Structure 1
């Protein structure tokens, strides 16, 4: 599996360990700070060559040190410059050394009053912030927002938690964010992603091997995570070699969701798709489908599919209706790769442990695709817990034994072994009825291709997001299905 260095995400705590490892290996830590601060200044000078003045706001730690280095670079460039700081007389280590090299006056941060024409260099707090910003910082944030001032953030906009993407009281909305070596989860998780502006990653001279050694199993989702696991059709392929997906339909007035899943699976490359319908829904499903096969749902048919090696994966839940019968059906399917979506998740809300125990006992290949509400019903303690969406998804995956697709504009895919990915390519237009049913069908198609569950889920989420981009504004679930073949990455 290809994991591109550029897609690695590393938390603030781990990045601190990387910095310590670099210093311990003999790398000059002040040189790294100089590289960081000068990168911030270079980008700001390039982006705003006609700035009225650069206002550098420096905090009490190493992020502030980056700001002082940037201020010195502005002074050398002859730019109009003002510097404001917190605790500038109490700085230690490299940050104190950076402050000592600045000849200009450093005024208290509380004295800064925003004015039109300012370009703010935000070097107050870095990605490790875990408390609400002070009142003076919140005031400056509010004033800068009101005046719509350009803001270049060092590492992450002050006020954002680099681990969770959450706002700590108030946060700058940056036009540009300059971070170093690798992105943090908070750069991609919402609302952080929307506040970072254009995100620039600079190599400041830490060997990549040191970053890799501390990085966890977290990446931005993309083809590098899943392309090696997906096998496309060959000249010798027949329909069953490309996988056979069976989707279970609800009754005649609620069968549309299952049809969306079935057609999405077909468009996503499954060689054969069967819609398994109650007898009363067969006619309505037949009226809407051509290439998708139909089969009446009864116990004999289900036993036959479970024993048929040509049936590769199941989808159950979309439009099915919450019932004890659905719980029994879902549990019976776990001998083959299964996507549990929508009603199949809600059906276990009162007894999720029975599902999780069955998955673990069977060693089943299961992908669950909950949105926020469904996640809360299955994992109420996790949904209400503090911490990042990534951590909640990881804990849910470990508990359930399934790959969790925790849906949203910042969908997180998590595996029971701790691997996780944050998806970033989904447009807001995907928040439409039936979109999740389409995702369930794509996921089943990936499982039918014999992809492992984590890679299948990553592929499906990415292709789903890319389909939304291709379909464009005003998309519907039907138009989303139509463009799935155009959304595959070129390498697949």
Structure 2
């Protein structure tokens, strides 16, 4: 159940279920019952307020209220508006036999649990001012908040905040999570998201015409987790070449090289400017060093069949050397990870860079953060597309796999396949973190792993390595924790 659906895809899945014989009201009843059972399993009976809107989300709320009250919970409902006549929501509202209060009179201080069933995924316009004030009061309270389907005020597909939004501690959604649960700022408003079965069969997914995004999880790429054998030789596990920068930027390439080693690459060679060789020699103990200033200097590395992957960009500088070596790499047969300064150089001539990428037989992976993305894809990054659409459009335009970094990192392939990672932690906002990620991706590629799986695996492991360390994280701490994450994954796979 790793699929992430847009609002439109979820509506199509519900319609598929209805056409195959599941009544519309039964879906609502199943949703409310599943949510109520989960709430009762996780919480003791307590004074509970349920905020209900006029649509299906509100209908879910009425079902939850009825079942909680039946179980002995003290429940009050606060209504935004009456449900549409003849709708399933009106039927659910009609089965609630107790008084209903107006949402404008709601005071969160009277309750220990708030259940938000106002809008869910159905909202398309900004929240009105009066209701925004109520949301603000709720968010500022200390009351535990559970959102039904999606926190009210969050757009179900894009994760955008429509003026004001509930900030929940937990979100209970149905059939599959939505892209709005995984994309910022929606991700930040959902708390822990749990998915409940409501009787829609998986066959509904096959009828969806648009590409379905996946939520990044080890189950997607566990088969590529590096495992070395007793008879293996170092070159059986790939050889990564890393283009290094001048003597004032030696740290970035070393971080990439060490990260490639930690994730299982058999060998790493740093392509270093001649005057930086002494600075590297005293620190990059595991890495081999090659003096590289010109395209001709790089040729032996590009011609070496053992070196199957190159990482270009970390600490390279925006200079003619970077431009020359990047072009040479793009016209080679190596798998490439382009990060940092390589992306900025590509942005000087996007069309020319994309032409070279599209001519390549082996994988090219670009790892931009938001600013780099906007420079490389100005017509996409500054347009009206939301982040998932942006990443997909960029992958199609460039011919590369895009790792669009952030709290909601997106891995997107040119064919539309995409994975959203939600385990980004604030401690990753530190110098060198991106250099480590580039090296991890390169290390997996060098071992012959599927490129999009390699990117997704590296992103997930990178985030978990940071989480294990916590506050005060430096980039070297991420590298140090990679073996522990690998060990956990190998044990999980057994």
Counterpart CA distance in 2 for 1:205 and 1:373 is 43
Moved more, 280-289 or 320-329: 320-329
Alpha-carbon shift at residue 68 of structure 1 (Å) = 1.5
Shift of 1:78: 3.8
Matches within 5 A, 1:49-448: 49-52=44-47, 54-88=48-82, 90-214=84-208, 216-230=211-225, 232-297=227-292, 298-334=294-330, 335-448=333-446
For each residue in 1:369-390, what CA deviation from the matched residue of structure 2 results, as whole angstroms up to 9, or x when unmatched? Answer: 1111111110122222234311
Question: Structure 1, unaligned stretches of length 5 or more?
Answer: 1-5
- Report the Cα distance in structure 2 between the residues aligned to 1:42 and 1:290, rounded to whole angstroms: 57
Q: Which moved more, 1:101-110 or 1:274-283?
A: 101-110
- Distance apart, 1:311 and its partner CA: 0.8
Residue 426 of structure 1 and its aligned partner are, at CA, apart by: 2.9
Q: 1:38 aligns with which of 33, 42, 45?
A: 33
Any conservation in 2 of the 1:129–1:160 contact (CA below 8 Å)? yes
Q: 1:479 aligns with which of 477, 480, 490?
A: 477
Q: Quote the Cα distance in structure 2 between the aligned partners of 1:387 and 1:124.
A: 26
Cα distance in 2 for residues equivalent to 1:236 and 1:227: 22
Which segment drifts farther, 7-16 or 319-328? 319-328
The question of whether the paired residues in 1 share the 8 Å contact of 2:55 and 2:84 is answered with no
Q: Is the 8 Å Cα contact of residues 404 and 411 (structure 2) preserved in structure 1?
A: yes
Query: Once the two structures are superposed, what CA deviation does each residue of 1:409-449 show, in whole Å capped at 9, x if it has no partner?
Result: 22111111111111122322111111111111111111101
**2-structure distance, mates of 1:48, 1:469:** 28
Distance 1:82 1:255 in 2: 63
Q: 78-87 vs 349-358, which deviates more?
A: 78-87
1:466 Cα deviation after fit: 1.8
Q: Deviations over 1:96-141 (max 9, x none)?
A: 2112212123333334344332532211101242221122321211
Indicate the larger mover: 152-161 or 450-459.
450-459
Quote the Cα distance in structure 1 between the aligned partners of 2:109 and 2:249. Answer: 58
Residue-pair matches, total = 486
SS at match of 1:88: coil
Alignment of 1:10 onto 2:5: yes
Q: Does 1:463 align with 2:461?
A: yes
Instruction: Give the unaligned 5+ runs of structure 2.
Output: none
Task: Please say if residues 34 and 197 of structure 2, whose CA atoms lie closer than 8 Å, have aligned partners that are also in contact.
Answer: no
Query: Deviations for 1:123-167, whole angstroms, at most 9, x for unmatched residues?
Result: 110124222112232121111122222222110110111212221
CA gap of 1:231–1:266, structure 2 versus 1, over 3 A, is: closer
- Inter-partner Cα distance in structure 1 for 2:254 and 2:305: 23
State the distance in 1 between where 2:467 and 2:101 align. Answer: 47
Partners of 2:241 and 2:86 lie apart in 1 by 63
Q: Residues 5-43 of structure 1: CA distance to partner in whole angstroms, max 9, x if unpaired? A: x22211111011110000000112211211111223333
Distance 1:292 1:44 in 2: 53
Q: Output the TM-score relative to the length of structure 1.
A: 0.94
Asked if 2 retains the 8 angstrom alpha-carbon contact of 1:230 and 1:449, the reply is: no
Kindly indicate whether the alpha-carbon contact (under 8 Å) linking 2:49 and 2:111 is maintained by their aligned counterparts in 1: no
Does the 8 A contact of 1:10 with 1:216 survive in 2? no
Distance (Å, rounded) in 1 between the aligned partners of 2:275 and 2:319: 18
